Amino acid sequence: MGARTDTRKEARRKFVKSGTSKMFLTMLVGFGLLCYANVVCFFPHALMPDAPEWAYRTFNAGAAWASLVTSIIYGASILRLRSRFIPLSALTGYALALIGILLSTTVGYNESDASLLAAGMSCGAGLSLAMFFWFGLLTCLTEHRAALTQGWQALIGELAFIILWSILSDRMAITATGSVVVSGTLGVFAWRLATKDLADNESYLGDVFKPHPWLTDNRVTLPQSLAFPFAGLVLVSLAYGVVEAMAMTQDGPAFGFYASAIGAPIGAVIFLFWQQFGRKRSYDLAVKVVFAVLAVALLILPFVGVTLILSLSFQLSGLLLYSLVIDELGSSRRRAITVIAWSFGASRILFLFGLHLPSAFGVESYHMLLHSTSLILILTYAMFGTFYLIDSRQRSSQLRTAKERLRMKEEQERRQAQSAVKVSEEGYMQACRMLGCTCNLTKRETEVLELLARGRNTAYVCETLFLTRNTVKGYVKSIYVKAGVHSRQELIDRIEDACHDVKQGRQDG
């Protein structure tokens, strides 16, 4: 068993040392190109520049619903299916994405909605499958490098879209097709790169992607730390959909599209700076800051500024959640992919709901949106009400955890006190002095030793011997070193042995 564990560790070390750099570069390019294709399909007027608005709505609806269904099925299937399912599903996704892009450029806009709906569904399902494949490979990197890969691929894809749109706005479908083909090729290379060096041993990649039973007492368990980032992503997706519905219309603001396109790479840059230079990376605090900035933007900025901030927040919220999932669930890759898939699907469908929310309230332009009290109130209550509930639950959970830790500490101290040496005061003192002499303890250290062996805590020692807390800690550390122990229970065991020797000596005498 030990040899097998050592073999796994050596295989993982070899993989991390020799293959991660190539994997990192491959993922930057491959994932970045896929991100570019995803952005092109996210703005359907880039694929179909001459299409009417109803065609964009139909395409978006098909893409969002297909992405949701694909996410649910993939997330549930990845928990049980063999690892060969992962590259096969990715290749299927790339094929569907190509079909969807080609279909969107050849369909006639005088035809029924079914053709555009099929194009959107093909793009949505295909790009989702390909995205999940790359997210799965991210779990093979270290947490920090995986987060940097996410940020860089998003930045590469978004910047490529802005640059190519400015010079090839009527050829975006061709560039998207090429990016899908190259990304798929790099995906095959990345998968082979992740497995070839470990073929002689139990594959590290195969081991971490083995079927994982995720049910505990018939319930799906998730870390509570994911609550805030997940709520942030879905709520920002809803609000972003509302703003995009107004920004992308023919009557929308002149720079609405550019604000939406520029905001995403800015969000990626902020995420990269936060990952690289943040000393204490608190994901909950980061999401709260995002919403605070968004609240200020809603109050003081014009519509174009709100669009920019929401685009930035949409990108940043997704990167925060996905990097946190990999960080929290990195040891269970399939669970991480499942959570990412379901979060991705929820984000897409909430964005679609946001696109149709203004029409449900009779809002037909961005001027009406800024004066629609009911819609603004619903968004505000949805955002801050959800955050208040989650924050309250987290505080209650933290309070319960603190109480439980205090109870366990008191119980441990009580047990230590009960297990303390039960001999006469004279015999107890003699045992402590004998141990102190054996271990070359000073007089003061011997006095501290007597109290520690009785199960007394640091505060009691400070009060009894009139010492400061740091002084007592220094004595305790010195006692542990001289006695060759690492815990208070080991120290008590040494005292018990010394007491036994004292008692045995008296009986012999």
Each residue's pLDDT tens digit, 157-213: 999 999 998 888 788 889 999 999 999 999 988 888 877 644 433 333 444 444 444
Q: Is the pLDDT of residue 226 over 70?
A: yes
Q: Is the pLDDT of residue 426 over 80?
A: no
pLDDT (tens digit, 9 = 90+) per residue, 300-332?
778 888 888 888 989 999 999 898 888 887 667
Residue among 188, 189, 173, 192 at smallest CA distance from 97: 173
Selected residue with higher pLDDT from 170 and 133: 133
Selected residue with higher pLDDT from 405 and 130: 130
Predicted confidence at residue 252, as pLDDT, reads 65
Q: Is the pLDDT of residue 71 over 60?
A: yes
- Distance CA(13)–CA(15), nearest Å, equals 5
Instruction: Tell me the CA distances in angstroms from 237 to 299, 318, 430, 444, 474, one per residue in order.
Output: 19, 9, 72, 64, 54
Predicted confidence at residue 66, as pLDDT, reads 92
Predicted confidence at residue 30, as pLDDT, reads 92
- Distance CA(457)–CA(223), nearest Å, equals 33
Overall CATH class of domain 426-505: mainly alpha
Predicted confidence at residue 416, as pLDDT, reads 58
Of 74-78, 141-145, 163-167, which range is least confident?
A: 141-145
Predicted confidence at residue 156, as pLDDT, reads 92
The CATH classification number of 12-196+226-371 equals: 1.20.1250.20
SS3 string of 299-324? HHCCHHHHHHHHHHHHHHHHHHHHHH
- Count the neighbouring beta carbons within 10 Å of the beta carbon of residue 212: 14
pLDDT (tens digit, 9 = 90+) per residue, 83-118?
778 888 999 999 999 999 988 888 766 555 678 888
Q: Is the pLDDT of residue 463 over 90?
A: no
**In whole numbers, what is the pLDDT of the chain averaged over residues?**
77
Q: Is the pLDDT of residue 249 over 50?
A: yes
Q: Is the pLDDT of residue 401 over 60?
A: yes
Instruction: Tell me the CA distances in angstroms from 188 to 81, 150, 376, one per residue in order.
Output: 19, 19, 46
- Distance CA(147)–CA(270), nearest Å, equals 12
- Distance CA(256)–CA(250), nearest Å, equals 10
Contact 344, 67 (CB under 8 A): yes
Burial grade of 273 (CB within 10 A; 0-12, 13-18, 19 or more): exposed
Of 57-61, 231-235, 260-264, 505-509, which range is least confident?
A: 505-509
Q: Can you tell me the mean pLDDT for 57-71?
A: 90
- Distance CA(140)–CA(205), nearest Å, equals 7
Q: Integer distance in angstroms from the first to the last C-alpha of the chain?
A: 52
- Boundaries of every domain in the chain: 12-196+226-371, 426-505
